[in-house]
Amino acid sequence: MSKQEKVQDIVNILEDLYPEVPVPLDHKDSFTLLIAVLLSAQCTDERVNKVTPFLFAEADNPTDMLVLGQERIKEIIRPCGLSPAKSKAIEGLSQILLEKHNGEVPQNFEDLEFLPGVGHKTASVVMSQAFGVPAFPVDTHIHRLAYRWKLSTGKNVTKTEKDLKRLFDKELWNKLHLQIIFFGREYCPARGHNPHACPICSKYGRAALFK
């Protein structure tokens, strides 16, 4: 089987298992998505979704977030971890959005990545899920699975993103990265994983080398 046939088979498996993929982080617009993604750093989506209703009830836009202030933001988001840094970033990016972007979340990578607390992965999530721009956000989970499935050397997330973008058609990226996340949670976890029972690892993963 050629590399491209393997890639297409993986696409088919993921599409069969997850024909519809909801965005894991609850949000109502690009700003609330941006904040939710920022909070998800080193925190589960489930916990973020429990915290954001309380935060957004008090402030769901840059103006109200500045009024709320860093200390109150920190108090609300404490369960997400790293609250001092995250609250400072939320206050800072809210200020920049008001001063430079009329309170709107910019729709380009350069301006997004300029915002405090917003790296390339966070910007990619916002671009893909809020604005529908083709992007392939690679978090630690996708990075791990790409290595397991021998789709990338796994040297770093930047290399993994380049490898996946080269292998998969651009029109698939936005849905595919979510499908991989859902698959990883259900079939291919970091711990307690049975590679021989995994629909993809059993065929194409590194464990398949030892059958």
Active-site annotation, residues: 121, 139
What is the token pair recorded at 89?
């970033």
Who's near 34: CB < 8 A, 6+ residues apart? 93, 105, 112, 115, 118, 122, 126, 130
User: CA–CA separation, 157 vs 174, rounded Å?
Assistant: 17
DSSP letter (8 states) at residue 197: T
3-state secondary structure 74-120: HHHHHHHCCHHHHHHHHHHHHHHHHHHCCCCCCCCHHHHHHCCCCCH
